[in-house]
Structure 1
Amino acid sequence: MSLTQWLTILGLVFGGCCANVSALESLVKGKPNMGSILTFCQFGFIAVEGYIQHFSISHPKRLFIKPTHIPVYRWMCSVVLFFFVSILNNSVWQYDISVPFHIIFRSSATGITMIIGYMFGKRYTKKQILSTVMLTVGCIVVTLSNANTADPTGETVDKGDFYLGIIILALACVLMSLLGLHNEYLFRTYGNHWREGFFYSHFLSVPLALFILPTLHKEWKVIWDLSVEDIAVGNYFKLPFLDTKLNKNFGWLTFNCVTQYFCVRGVNMLAGSTTALTLNIVLMIRKFVSLLLSMYFFGNRLTFDGYVGSIMVLVGATMYSYASMKK
């Protein structure tokens, strides 16, 4: 790749993804119960962009969408899994799960993937197993350090919500592993048509929102309406040249959706231009940068045990990537 291509991709990955995480944290800090509307808006934005890319005037019977390389019915399993994974991941903010912990926990999900892969006949090298053990131990250390952190006010804190959040995150990791194995089978059978899968996993997930329509309506009102409390604390901004006030949470939600697109575009450009090892290492560095930004801008802190566990997760993930490429 040329220097210009590298700068473009790294700008999208680090700029888009880190800005996306910052927008997410700004939103969930004030409104932690916004997981469903956040997922729906992200899906809707990417589905519209993907529809423009796949639009074909020659296929009116297919809703003006180009023919697929992989049969649509084959995507249905991916769509359902992806929808529930996204809903679960965006629902944990109401259970005392911080953004740094969310990043670390999801980075250490390799152990779950390995166990499920083994059940489906995949085999792993000793280095892969060793790195996964390091990942898992690191994640346990971080989890225990978060669970034992005292409340700044000195009051006793009920950790039931925190442990429930961990269970939800673990379930999301299991479903994500199944999703990865299913997509791996599809790409091995029909070819690596990731752009098509990216579009259909979002486009076909939008109708599933009908099952959570009451929740979406309630969360949208909280996002859009300006409460007396929002006005009192200045949680709004004025549109230029218009005498209109908008809830800042609506702005963060919009910014999150836009940066999500740039983030995913950068990751897929990198995936198509480099090796899997380079991709994994760049993404691991990106997660580490997001972790540092979250701690700097939002005041999140880890205990000494938390830092040790985080380093174990990062080193273990890098080792796993290298061992997988050697295999």
Structure 2
Amino acid sequence: MPLYRYLISTYGFCLASVLGNIVFRFHLSLPIHIIFRSSSTAFTMLLGYLIYRKKYSLGQILGSVLMSLGVITVTISNMSDRSSQPNEEPQEFRTYVSGLAILVGVTMLTSFLSLYNESSNRIYRAKERSGSWLENLFYSHLYAIPFFLLMPGTLKREYELVESLSASSNFKKYWAFLLANVITQLLCVAGVNKIAILTSAVTLGVILLLRRFLSLLFSMLLFHNEMSPLGMLGTIMVFAGAGVYSYSIGAENDKMKMKEKRE
């Protein structure tokens, strides 16, 4: 695959990753971050139709619409809760809205990159789909190294934080958490790269949505992030939409198998 395609994909995802972490400075909770990013499936379908002229079944469209409506419901619920707080200043509310705007941009960027990678895999890897995910995993990390050199201040602060923790009595505990995070991230990234070779960008988005569902549950359990009844309704809509989409994909695969048997 040409070098420029690796570079576009790598630096695009690096930018999305950095912006995705920056939005936490805008008073966005992790559940809102997770649920809003879950709308990437709808964005992927929209961009796929507009840019690549892809066609989707009614079940896929219905599932994506349901997920998007769920995201909107949760977002409105959270914004209503914030705007009704008497002690919150208008400046803080504007900061929250700005964070949501960045999150929309990140979601659209990742959706486009998923379609871009799907196109690259289809064009250049049609004959070697089984092992090419390792190549993509290697180059995407190799080319990402210079990107982090553009953030010396952040790297310095992280290093100083690690040094300060070395004097703590819980130093071994912190390192255990860091090691667990690195291992799980490795498994996650490797799995995503392998799935991206074998499936479409939209299906990959649905699989990642289910992963975010588990993250949402852990977040609410560990960090006591609560949601209003309207927010819970939106959450149910998001993951119900994922179920509708998955059922639609399964039905289409069954039809294709039946057609192949008849032929």
Q: TM-score, normalised by structure 2?
A: 0.78
CA contact (8 A) 2:118 2:197 kept: no
Change (3 A) 1:153 1:117: closer
- Picking from 263, 267, 274, the partner of 2:188 is 263
Alignment of 1:1-327 (within 5 A): 70-120=1-51, 121-150=53-82, 155-157=87-89, 158-191=92-125, 192=129, 193-225=132-164, 237-239=170-172, 248=174, 252-266=177-191, 284-324=209-249, 326=252
The amino acid that maps onto 2:239 is L
- Rounded Cα–Cα distance in structure 2 between residues aligned with 1:74 and 1:274: 19
- Rounded Cα–Cα distance in structure 1 between residues aligned with 2:137 and 2:16: 15
The amino acid that maps onto 1:93 is F
Change (3 A) 1:149 1:290: same
CA contact (8 A) 2:40 2:110 kept: no
- Rounded Cα–Cα distance in structure 1 between residues aligned with 2:57 and 2:41: 14
Change (3 A) 1:178 1:141: same
Change (3 A) 1:147 1:91: same
Change (3 A) 1:286 1:183: closer
1:84 Cα deviation after fit:
0.7
1:154 Cα deviation after fit:
5.8
- Rounded Cα–Cα distance in structure 1 between residues aligned with 2:19 and 2:93: 19
- Rounded Cα–Cα distance in structure 2 between residues aligned with 1:153 and 1:159: 10
CA contact (8 A) 2:165 2:171 kept: no
DSSP-derived class of the 1:260 partner: helix
Change (3 A) 1:166 1:252: farther
CA contact (8 A) 1:294 1:300 kept: yes
Change (3 A) 1:290 1:215: closer
1:269 Cα deviation after fit:
6.6
The amino acid that maps onto 1:162 is Y
- Rounded Cα–Cα distance in structure 2 between residues aligned with 1:197 and 1:142: 35
Higher helix content, 1 or 2: 2
- Rounded Cα–Cα distance in structure 1 between residues aligned with 2:66 and 2:159: 41
Question: Greater shift after overlay, 170-179 or 280-289?
Answer: 280-289
What's the counterpart of residue 21 of structure 1?
A: none
Question: Greater shift after overlay, 313-322 or 74-83?
Answer: 313-322
Change (3 A) 1:283 1:109: closer
The amino acid that maps onto 1:237 is N
1:219 Cα deviation after fit:
3.9
DSSP-derived class of the 1:315 partner: helix
CA contact (8 A) 1:142 1:305 kept: yes
The amino acid that maps onto 1:176 is T
CA contact (8 A) 1:140 1:309 kept: yes
CA contact (8 A) 2:136 2:193 kept: no
Length, aligned pairs only: 244
1:124 Cα deviation after fit:
2.3
Change (3 A) 1:159 1:277: closer
Describe the superposition over 1:41-87 as per-residue Cα deviations: whole angstroms up to 9, x where unpaired. Answer: xxxxxxxxxxxxxxxxxxxxxxxxxxxxx233331111121111111
- Rounded Cα–Cα distance in structure 1 between residues aligned with 2:202 and 2:42: 18
- Rounded Cα–Cα distance in structure 2 between residues aligned with 1:176 and 1:273: 18
- The alignment-based identity, stated in percent, is 38
Q: TM-score, normalised by structure 1?
A: 0.64
- RMSD between superposed Cα atoms in Å: 3.4
DSSP-derived class of the 2:225 partner: coil
Change (3 A) 1:131 1:276: same
Q: Structure 2 unaligned runs (5+)? A: 254-263
